[in-house]
């Protein structure tokens, strides 16, 4: 292989997960003729992206996420047209179940948020819920909020849709190329050193998922996020799990579930979520041992809470266990933007387990910022400086981020 040591591009993106691919898509769409190179050391979408449960959540209590997710839905339609293929988004709706005073109050305010975004949302009676979702136990005094537009998808397919469209629009996507460090001149990022030589660029974007803090620390930046494990299970098939039944969010059990081809996919928040230093994660995520017992210990610790809503859980076989790392933050807001103190460096990181749903907005935001245009979204709450100076490798920081996931009640 010829090593090219003086290659130039307008933009280099480090990491070919859904964020990197979405940025390459929007940048090429909005800036024809400009050169963007995306570098992925494995294969695109191999890490968190292909492991996601892929709820494409539209309406959340954290309102800043909503326009980003709505853009994802819009761009899916655009890419389907461009590729003349369907992504087969499963529009089954979501049912939020509220079984306590505090979650009923939360649901009422979520339904109001839906209304402000003109999103259809209705309360359902228990018997109607039962007909739609046979596995779910209901009680008349609980409240059920249904939002019919909520969907899920195949996350790998969505990530590769972004990559394929980006390529058609002129992006260079190089797999099997590792970025070893960011090249700096004083406080300006001028490119990257890779396993294939140096590439100089007008802008460098860190979109390296759980590994991002490692690259950032080499240029003196403590990126405020930590890799925290998410895990879910897929049950055996049963008539209890119709393929078109809604996604279910159970804040009182800190759990969520959705249909998966006649089975049920469900996830829980552990009493204490697991995090690790970004420096400890192997390059190939499949070499990381997430759990010796396939998460069954964590599940056993909270199963009573889940069984209140899903009594058959004790009698239902588990067929698959999936785990991966998302970049969590102490306040469960995204952590991304222009890197402070370094010119021409951007970080599309800290996805807080929502990266599939917000990918459209994130891709568009970075494409615009890199091109020197205003960010069309409000990123104030995602600001990289909001926690002050932090050490992303310290146990205290990792614990704080893990705790944020343990306390999460939404989907």
Question: What 3-state class would DSSP assign to 183?
Answer: strand
Task: Choose the stretch contacting ligand FAD; rule: CB under 6 A; options: 309-317, 350-358, 364-372, 377-385.
Answer: 350-358
Residue in 9, 11, 20, 309 binding ligand FAD, rule: CB under 6 A: 20
- Does 227 participate in binding ligand FAD (rule CB under 6 A)? no
Q: Are 176 and 38 in contact (CB under 8 A)?
A: no
CB of 250 to ligand FAD, least distance (A): 14
- Does 19 participate in binding ligand FAD (rule CB under 6 A)? yes
Question: What 3-state class would DSSP assign to 318?
Answer: strand
| Beta strands 94-98 and 36-40, pairing class | unpaired
Q: What is the C-alpha to C-alpha distance for residues 292 and 231, in angstroms, rounded to an integer? A: 13
Closest of 61, 258, 249, 242 to residue 144, by C-alpha: 249
- Does 322 participate in binding ligand FAD (rule CB under 6 A)? yes
Task: Choose the stretch contacting ligand FAD; rule: CB under 6 A; options: 93-101, 111-119, 210-218, 394-402.
Answer: 210-218
CB of 324 to ligand FAD, least distance (A): 3
Closest of 153, 212, 203, 211 to residue 360, by C-alpha: 153
Question: What 3-state class would DSSP assign to 79?
Answer: helix
393 φ, ψ to 5°?
Answer: -105, -5
Q: What is the C-alpha to C-alpha distance for residues 199 and 221, in angstroms, rounded to an integer? A: 21
Give the residue ranges of DSSP H helices in 254-354.
296-307
Q: Closer CB to ligand FAD, residue 322 or residue 364?
A: 322
- Does 51 participate in binding ligand FAD (rule CB under 6 A)? yes
Interface mask (CB under 6 A) for ligand FAD, residues 263-302, using x and -? ----------------------------------------
Interface mask (CB under 6 A) for ligand FAD, residues 163-202, using x and -? ---------------xx-----------------------
Give the residue ranges of DSSP H helices in 117-174.
126-132, 155-168
CB of 207 to ligand FAD, least distance (A): 5
Q: Closer CB to ligand FAD, residue 54 or residue 339?
A: 54
Residue in 207, 216, 221, 299 binding ligand FAD, rule: CB under 6 A: 207
CB of 40 to ligand FAD, least distance (A): 5
Q: Where are the beta strands (DSSP E) in 74-186?
A: 94-98, 122-124, 143-147, 151-152, 172-175, 179-185
First to last CA, the chain: 47
Residue in 28, 31, 49, 316 binding ligand FAD, rule: CB under 6 A: 49
Residues near ligand FAD (CB under 6 A) are 14-20, 39-42, 46-49, 51-55, 178-179, 207-211, 215, 230-232, 322-326, 351, 353-357
């Amino acid at each position: 292989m010829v090593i090219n040591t003086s290659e130039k591009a307008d933009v280099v993106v480090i990491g070919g997960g859904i964020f990197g691919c979405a940025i390459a898509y929007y940048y090429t769409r909005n800036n024809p003729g400009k050169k963007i190179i995306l570098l992925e050391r494995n294969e695109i979408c191999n890490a968190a992206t292909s492991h996601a449960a892929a709820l494409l959540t539209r309406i959340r209590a954290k309102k800043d996420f909503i326009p980003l997710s709505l853009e994802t839905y819009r761009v899916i339609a655009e890419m389907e047209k461009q590729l003349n293929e369907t992504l087969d988004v499963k529009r089954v709706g979501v049912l939020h179940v509220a079984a306590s005073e505090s979650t009923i109050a939360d649901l009422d305010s979520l339904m109001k948020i839906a209304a402000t975004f003109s999103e259809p949302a209705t309360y359902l009676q228990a018997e109607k819920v039962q007909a739609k979702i046979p596995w779910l136990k209901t009680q008349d005094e609980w409240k059920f909020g249904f939002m019919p537009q909520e969907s899920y998808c195949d996350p790998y397919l969505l990530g590769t849709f972004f990559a394929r469209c980006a390529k058609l629009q002129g992006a260079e996507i190089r797999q099997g190329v590792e970025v070893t460090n960011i090249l700096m001149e004083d406080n300006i990022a001028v490119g990257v050193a890779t396993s294939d030589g140096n590439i100089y660029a007008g802008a460098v974007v860190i979109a390296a998922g759980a590994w991002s803090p490692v690259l950032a620390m080499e240029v003196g930046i403590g990126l405020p996020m930590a890799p925290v494990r998410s895990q879910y299970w897929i049950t055996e098939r049963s008539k209890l799990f119709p393929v078109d039944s809604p996604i279910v969010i159970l804040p009182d059990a800190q759990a969520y579930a959705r249909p998966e081809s006649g089975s049920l996919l469900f996830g829980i928040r552990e009493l204490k979520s697991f995090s690790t230093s970004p420096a400890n994660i192997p390059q190939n995520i499949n070499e990381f041992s997430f759990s010796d017992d396939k998460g069954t210990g964590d599940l056993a610790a909270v199963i009573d809470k889940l069984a209140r809503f899903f009594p058959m859980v004790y009698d239902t076989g588990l067929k698959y266990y999936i785990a991966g790392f998302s970049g969590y933050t102490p306040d469960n807001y995204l952590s991304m933007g222009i890197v402070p103190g370094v010119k021409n460096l951007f970080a599309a990181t800290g996805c807080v387990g929502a990266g599939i749903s917000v990918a459209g907005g994130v891709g568009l935001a970075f494409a615009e910022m890199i091109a020197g245009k205003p960010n069309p979204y409000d990123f104030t709450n995602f600001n990289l400086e909001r926690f002050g100076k932090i050490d992303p490798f310290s146990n205290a920081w990792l614990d704080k981020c893990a705790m944020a996931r343990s306390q999460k009640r939404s989907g």
